[in-house]
Amino acid sequence: MRRFFRKLKRGGVAIVTTHGERSREILGTVDCYQVGEAARAHLMASYDAGQYGFVNYMPDHSLEAKTVDYIGDSYGIALIPHQWVTDVCRETGVEILEYRRGGWDNHQDVFFIACN
């Protein structure tokens, strides 16, 4: 994200979606990303500690199997706390203009981020 934000031109706006607050809420009730219980626990623990968490999709994931086959074991899901995004924005000199919890399909959080 840091590298991406540094590419924003003055006056530019990035629309960024993350698996954040809403995704954490959903993941707390069901393994909706089909990553397995150990990976699910890791994602939630990382998120709850305010850290960026990432796990690979399982090779037999029902919706992602072809992509996993093509890309390999570097393809998965990240769970990202709001504060982590805020910190990255501050470090790179960009500003969150608007935040919508679950704004993408009542699932992913949406950030509107500007370079001033």
Looking at residue 67, what is its pLDDT? 62
Q: Does the CA dihedral 46-34-29-38 come out positive or negative?
A: negative
Mean pLDDT taken over the chain: 89
Residue 94 is assigned to a structural domain of this protein: yes
pLDDT recorded at residue 41: 96
Please tell me the predicted confidence (pLDDT) of residue 71. 62
**Residue 42 domain-assigned?**
yes
DSSP 29-73: TS-TT---HHHHHHHHHHHHTT--EEEEPPTT-TTTHHHHHHH-T
Per-residue pLDDT reduced to its tens digit, 39-80: 999 999 999 999 999 998 776 666 665 665 666 566 788 999
Q: Which domain holds residue 37?
A: 20-49+77-105
4 found inside a domain: no
What totals of helices (H) and strands (E) does the chain contain, helices first? 5, 5
Query: Is 38 a domain residue?
Result: yes
Per residue in 24-40, pLDDT (tens digit) is 999 999 998 888 999 99
Domain assignment present for residue 28? The answer is: yes
Label residue 28 left, alpha or beta by phi (over 0 means left) and psi (-120 to 50 means alpha). alpha
As for how many domains the chain has, the answer is 1
Residue count (the chain):
116
pTM: 0.83
